[in-house]
Structure 1
Amino acid sequence: MVKQFVRQKARNITPTQFIVFTYLTAVMVAALLLLLPASVKEGKSISFLDALFTATSAVSVTGLTVVNTSETFSGFGALMIMGMIQFGGIGIMALGTFLWLIFGQNISLSYRRLIMVDQNRSSLSGLVYLIRSLLLLALLFEGVGAVLIGSYLLAAGYYDSVPMAFYHGLFHAISSYTNAGFDLFGDSLQSFSNDYVLQGLTMVLLVLGAIGFPVLIELREKLVKKTPNFKFSLFTKVTVTTFVTLIILGTVGIWIVESSVYYREMPWHQQLAYSLFNSISTRSGGLATMDVSEFTSPTQFMLSVLMFIGASPSSVGGGIRTTTFAVIVLTLVNYALGRSEVRVFRRTLKQEDITKSFVVFSAAVMIVILSIMLLDALERQHFSLIKIVFEVCSAFGTSGLSTGITSELSAPGKVLIILLMFMGRVGILTLLFMFRSKVTKDRYHYPKEELIIG
């Protein structure tokens, strides 16, 4: 009787609910692993709330931390975190699919639906190929990145030991590609603020992880496989255009605001390096070559907006995603031009995609505004409003950058940031679909009536 009841309840669980439950379980298991004595260094301890915060940050590939990773966690703990960010960055369904493929198992229709939800796809076609390509590309980029970074750390004299150099190289490569924002250097990349080689390698990995797996797969088809008559999809065109435009606008915007303030006495190449790295890392990376709290309030707000937008769909990043932002802007522009359709690259967008974009944007704005109000009510005696805005946007966009207030938050404040990081990882649409029943066609329609807008 009990088994029958459990099976009936399991059948009623939607793929979306299963995905959310799985990530929630992963966070709890990760927190328990970090509480093990073997996970922390001798003489160090960590509370359950801080372990839960770190686990959520790792699984959501955010990078916000309440304890110093290199000073608190042992080698075993660091390996656990490395596994968590790999798990969170690539996705549980992708890793599960990889194991099924290794053992030669067929991927069932129900499992394909789970993959579709986890990877934020709207179609079941090509999912197994997507996952296989995703994993191969991830292993390739992380492997090459680990070798290059490890070799450079050794050659540049940062580490004398070969195992230590490549251990740090592997951790940094995985953290960079998954846009996790964790580091073992102790101060993110501030010790390497003048090392443009390491910064360059890091930025390449950050972009490869954040631009979206479908984009990388199409680039491989075009440039590597040289598929005849291959044409880039509208998704790739919009994604790459928006992604690159935001990097350029972010770099120029930071430089313009800070050129006469923080950058005043710096050489041009250092100004460019700071601006470019922050423009890229802010979108989801979370690594920093400087203390972002030293930026002026306008720059911090600009970075908050970039974190809110986040990375591309079907990537390791969070936020509302680049395509959502692009559709919002395109809709406004086309409406201003008097067009009844939204057109881009000689294509017309589907009304369903436009509606989804406005739903995601509206829901995200409401969540972020409410979170800012709650966190300000909890922490206003200690932190300025701009720092709270920055922290909320960083958590929601799974960026991981901070003005330094994370470890000083109260227990309720930490819980709020935990919830934001989790929501940022699973995505707005996934959360909304949790409460959505099966889509059915309406049997009747009410009369339509105009409403005064604006």
Structure 2
Amino acid sequence: MKLTKLVHHISPVHMLVLIYVAATVLASILLSLPWSIKPGVDFDLLEILFTAISAISVTGLSVVSTADTFTPFGIVMLAIILQFGGIGMMTAWTLVWILLGRKIGLGYRQLIMFDQNRTDMIGLVRVIRYVFGFSILFELIGFIYFSGLLYVRGYYDTVLQSMYYGAFHAISSYTNAGFDIFGDSLLGYYHDYLFQLGTMVLIILGSIGFPVLIETWSYLQAKKLKQRYRFSLFTKITVTTFFLLIMIGAAVMFTFEYNGFFKDAPLHEKLMASLFSSVTARNAGLATLDFANFYIPTLLILSALMFIGASPSSVGGGIRTTTFAIVFLAIRNYALGRTDVQVFGRRINERDVIKSFVVFTTGVAIVIGAIIVIDALEMHRHSLAEVIFEVSSAFGTTGLSTGITAELTSASKIIIMWLMFIGRIGILSFLLGMRFNNEPIPYRYPEEKMIIG
């Protein structure tokens, strides 16, 4: 049965979930091949499944050492999985369909719409071309930059080694995957500011959202032709919120850890470490520091940043930056006595406001529920701050950890896998996936006011 016909019997959201489940199974098979695993490495079924889901959701949480577990063939397989997971399964498949000259039907367009977290199907094929084009361009530039840097600075003896590590790091950074093959994330590059700067640029380009990148490109084209161009409200809110969160996160970490983890570090080192940690907490999971040594308030702030996550229609998870911004603006405007949510001279659609609160409250409920269950399952072997950090990292598909991932019980690991999966498909898709009856109610009950607060 063709996909377009199957969509008539299965909703697009349910089909999308099935596609990601199938992709996880395929990823598990690829990563468990004899050529993928180093000889003598014990890699059980739960560890394989955990790694596959972490890769498909581009999270980066891992129960094994990537460098010590996989062969070069396995690393290549992992990189391909990260690429598909980063740009989205339907985006990758649609690109293949376009290259084969096949027509993109309504069924495919619906799946792309949900996969890219968009509200309509207008211009989706054009968006796919941009998404793939940006991914190849930025990763190619990153590959050249990191390969050259690794070789020139003497991290590796040969150009081939530098290219091998540079290529994987470029893919992992842009897709915000958080996986590394260095063996200790980026702890070995703590003093290499050029390496960190390139990594931060790729992280931001991957997590700020494809619509923002497309509008920026359109703006540059319009400027070249000396034409006027107006950015959408979505881009204005997204960019403002995204960089404000980075600045707030860096400022808070700098302040909280000034006389703590950073006590003996010079000022420039404190500033760089704070900035990089705030950027990677957006969704990347690559770390230049051991987060287990941070104060509890710092871990909680980073957990909040990971819970918010990246921007919509990007490689990241979480509740998304626009959701947080609209919830904040709605509360602020209500406190000011305004009936509408207004920003940048525009009024936000009421349905979008309601949708934001639904996503926010559902996200909070999922995360709190997971924290309670995991803390109970672990019998308090780990501190509550560590559990909160781990859960937030999984939900936001970030990948940062205080080092407890491999120590979790099997039941806790399954919950973490479930969180990573929800983070990848998105809360709205998760909620819509629970809907099996799409028929509208043919009547409305009388309205009655309630006492609130």
TM-score calculated relative to the size of structure 1: 0.97
Give the drift of 1:446.
Answer: 1.4
- 1:175-202 per-position Cα deviation (integer Å, ceiling 9, x unaligned): 0000000001000000000000000000
Aligned to 2:443: 444
Contact 2:329 2:341 in 1 (8 A): yes
Letter in 1 for 2:290: D
Aligned to 2:192: 195
- 1:211-263 per-position Cα deviation (integer Å, ceiling 9, x unaligned): 00000010011124536222100000000000010000000011111111111
Question: In the alignment, does 2:136 pair up with 1:142?
Answer: no
Choose which of 168, 179, 183 in structure 2 pairs with 1:182. 179
Contact 2:61 2:401 in 1 (8 A): yes
SS in 2 for 1:37: coil
Distance 2:133 2:413 in 1: 36
In terms of mean alpha carbon deviation, does 299-308 or 33-42 score higher? 33-42
SS in 1 for 2:452: coil
Q: How does 1:220-235 map to 2 (within 5 A)?
A: 220-224=217-221, 226=223, 228-235=227-234
Give the drift of 1:443.
Answer: 3.2
Aligned to 2:21: 24
Aligned to 1:333: 332
- 1:97-116 per-position Cα deviation (integer Å, ceiling 9, x unaligned): 21122122221122111110
Distance 2:263 2:222 in 1: 48
Unaligned runs of 5+ in 1: none
Distance 2:269 2:419 in 1: 33
Aligned to 1:242: 241
Q: How does 1:48-127 map to 2 (within 5 A)?
A: 48-127=45-124
- Measured at CA, do residues 9 and 214 of structure 1 come closer, stay the same or move farther in structure 2, by a change above 3 Å? closer
- 1:378-418 per-position Cα deviation (integer Å, ceiling 9, x unaligned): 11342111100000000000000000000111111111111
Distance 1:410 1:364 in 2: 23
Letter in 1 for 2:336: L
Q: How does 1:310-389 map to 2 (within 5 A)?
A: 310-389=309-388
Output the aligned Cα RMSD.
Answer: 1.6
Distance 2:398 2:159 in 1: 31
Aligned to 1:286: 285
Number of aligned positions between the proteins: 451
Distance 1:70 1:313 in 2: 31
Aligned to 1:302: 301
Letter in 1 for 2:228: N
Aligned to 1:130: 127
Distance 2:147 2:137 in 1: 15
Give the drift of 1:68.
Answer: 0.4
- 1:89-131 per-position Cα deviation (integer Å, ceiling 9, x unaligned): 0011111121122122221122111110100100111111111
Contact 2:222 2:228 in 1 (8 A): no
Distance 2:42 2:257 in 1: 40
Distance 2:8 2:140 in 1: 40
Aligned residues: percent identity? 50
Choose which of 205, 208, 212 in structure 2 pairs with 1:211. 208
- 1:267-298 per-position Cα deviation (integer Å, ceiling 9, x unaligned): 01110111000100011000000101111000
Give the drift of 1:37.
Answer: 1.3
Give the drift of 1:425.
Answer: 0.5
In terms of mean alpha carbon deviation, does 276-285 or 436-445 score higher? 436-445
Give the drift of 1:9.
Answer: 6.9
SS in 1 for 2:445: coil
Distance 1:89 1:289 in 2: 22
Choose which of 142, 156, 161 in structure 1 pairs with 2:153. 156
SS in 2 for 1:172: helix
Question: In the alignment, does 2:23 pair up with 1:37?
Answer: no
Unaligned runs of 5+ in 2: none
Letter in 1 for 2:124: L
Aligned to 1:399: 398
Aligned to 2:258: 259
TM-score calculated relative to the size of structure 2: 0.97
Letter in 2 for 1:254: M
- 1:16-63 per-position Cα deviation (integer Å, ceiling 9, x unaligned): 111111001111111122221111112212001000000000000000
Letter in 2 for 1:37: P
Contact 2:4 2:106 in 1 (8 A): no
Letter in 2 for 1:448: E
Distance 1:238 1:25 in 2: 35
Distance 1:157 1:10 in 2: 54
